Amino acid sequence: MKKLYSAILIGEILLIATLLIVGCQSPLKLQELDYTEDPVDIANPDRGAYRGRWQNISPDLVNETNSPYGITPEVDHRVPVDETSALYHGRQVPTVEGDDIVETEFYNGVNQNDKPYIGGTDVSSLPGISFMSFDLCNFSSNAFLSASDAFAYNDDGLFTDPRTGKTRTGETRPLTPYALDYIRGLLQKVRDGEGVAFVKFSYDGNGFNYIEPHKYPHLDLREGLIHGPEPTYITENNPSSMCDIEGHEDKTWIEYHIWQLKPIFHDYEDIIMSVKTGMLGPWGEQHSSPEAQNADAYKILLDAYLEAVPSSRPLITHAGGFLAWYNATYGTNYTFTNIDKMPAPPAGSPEGRFGFFNDSYAAGNWSDNGSLSEGNSMINNRYGNSEYDRYKVIKWFNKQNQVLQGEGGIGDNVFGNMPGAIIEAQQLRTTALNMRHGNYSRWNNFIYKEENVTKPVQFPANEEELQSGNFTGEIKTAVFDPVYDGKTGLEYFRDRMGYRLVLRESKISESVKPTGTLKFTGKIQNVGFGNIINKKNVSLILKAKSGTDTFTTLTDIDARDWLTDNNGNSREDNTSAWRDMRVSVDLSDLGTIPAGEYDIYLKINDPLEQSTNKRCIRFANKGNMWNAELGANLLGSTTIK
């Protein structure tokens, strides 16, 4: 009896103690915020539209004055050898340098010679991505220095002008200190600006080694490669692929150049979004040249980039290049026939770093002008039994969960037209598109209404069906999001590229003692096509409502866990796609916090960001949640007392 009494007494004491502890803790209060999405453009880092460096000049206006190097639509920064080197930017009006972050309309496909940055769609965007593409033609004896040099070689097969003795190509050699400083200077402009850098290096950034007849209608030209531009291509003018610098004789010239670039990749890691591995083929698009069709070259190239570029940053290649590297690395025999059977890459693995580029995105034919199937013949020649299938490539890339960058093509068929283009973008996790390349009028003419969006789309089962028009493939239906009702398809697509975050719920401790624990729980929904790829710091900020005091603590939240819905359902009522956020902060760890009213903010930025408020992720909520000075999103408020 005495033992029973003691047990009851102890139990009551524990219950009372528990009640006292709970009573001392303030309940979590739902914050009075607007939890609905605002359908407007937000230039968040690592996703969205980017403005290509675009030379706008019609073929009949090409001459030595306004286009001394010939015509080329994509204009890469030509890396100089020294201060006497001629820089090439094409006929830019005005000349474009630095971060290229200027509000621009999406292009409608119509050339406008006097106003090259008028898009014609009436849909604009403030790009958050700077297309930092560098042409290393001065550093390869196989790369032509101008279109006229390339055409002259095409006529007589000579690497020097027989009349003047002037070389028509660059010279295979190390990147000079002046060249490296030039690259640093342009990346520094990105850091000083607002955006991130999408970086590409190649030896023919302006396509001089390749003939595109439509640019020269007055000439009878056949499309195709004139000459392989790489310094690893053995020719009369470039007798060795191997570097001859003491201590680096084990490297090819491409490996040596990437080795020289390594310190730059690391020094500017904070503002690099991703690196396109380029280097092979005209424009660095990894096609046409003998090196770009050499499976062994991809193992060398991609290994060099894996070693040189910080592991925090994705690398971009095409499907064939990835297959060649993967098979050589792991002793497998994957081809385009079974690419969809490849396992999802483990977190932190080398294969998990590879994203994908599509240089004719949504062009509308079966292979997007060969971009989706790039490298299939190379893989077939090496491994056999490689048959390209559009849906298998898309399924593989969906599992990769990586960056997809594209140059717009947007053809007039099921893949280029909406709602088919929306369905495919959700599967591809489309991240970034060049707003100056392709005809975006096709999406701009599509009105985003429920009856248009939810119209069932039947896809062709194969290429033959696409050509015949008799489709028997899968029937799919896009999910209509009423937030964009009445907007254009282009506006919807602009905002959905990559990730897009909407705060759906926020609960914060109503009050807390200076030595107590501040708690926050929330729900967030990623309504974009893709996910956050690059790691972000997620910090909680306490800001005094009166005064200037702020207190910041880093949380253990991983923003990469805020996954988009696999079925493309971005509707607010899709609560299964709401992701949890939980934070508990011991205020004593933040120092002495004065009593008072505090606003609570969530700041999301790169761990290496050097500024106070640049390149921070902004939620897409309505209302006045964004604090530009802090670069953070309002979660609510609490009282410390």
- pLDDT tens per residue, range 102-157: 788 898 887 655 555 568 899 999 888 998 999 999 999 999 998 889 999 999 99
Average pLDDT over residues 469-486: 97
Nearest to 209 by CA among 223, 221, 232, 225: 225
Nearest to 309 by CA among 344, 275, 279: 275
Average pLDDT over residues 492-511: 98
90 pLDDT more than 60: no
358 pLDDT more than 90: yes
Give 216's pLDDT tier (boundaries 50, 70, 90): confident
Average pLDDT over residues 474-503: 98
Nearest to 305 by CA among 282, 274, 271, 328: 274
Q: How far is CA 587 from CA 266, 508, 626, 640, in A?
A: 35, 14, 24, 10
Boundaries of every domain in the chain: 24-42+499-640, 51-453
246 pLDDT more than 90: yes
Query: Which pLDDT value is given to residue 17?
Result: 43
Grouping H, G, I as helix, E, B as strand and the rest as coil, residue 138 is: helix
Query: Which pLDDT value is given to residue 62?
Result: 58
The domain defined by 24-42+499-640 folds into: Immunoglobulin-like (2.60.40)
4 pLDDT more than 60: no
DSSP 8-60: HHHHHHHHHHHHHHHHHSPPEEE-----SBP-S----TT-EEE---B----GG
Query: Which pLDDT value is given to residue 63?
Result: 61
Percent of the chain at pLDDT exceeding 70: 89
25 pLDDT more than 80: no
Query: Which pLDDT value is given to residue 164?
Result: 95
Q: How far is CA 549 from CA 63, 518, 583, 636, in A?
A: 62, 17, 21, 17
pLDDT in tens, 371-385: 999 999 999 999 999
Give 80's pLDDT tier (boundaries 50, 70, 90): very high
How far apart (Å, rounded) are the C-alpha atoms in residues 463 and 468?
Answer: 9
CB proximity list for 508: less than 8 A, separation 6 or greater: 28, 29, 31, 518, 519, 520, 600, 635, 636, 637, 638
Average pLDDT over residues 322-347: 97
Question: Phi/psi at 286 (nearest 5 deg)?
Answer: 60, 45
Give 509's pLDDT tier (boundaries 50, 70, 90): very high
Lowest mean pLDDT among 69-73, 199-203, 528-532, 583-587: 69-73
Give 570's pLDDT tier (boundaries 50, 70, 90): very high
546 pLDDT more than 80: yes
Lowest mean pLDDT among 118-132, 195-209, 461-475: 118-132
How far apart (Å, rounded) are the C-alpha atoms in residues 426 and 389?
Answer: 18
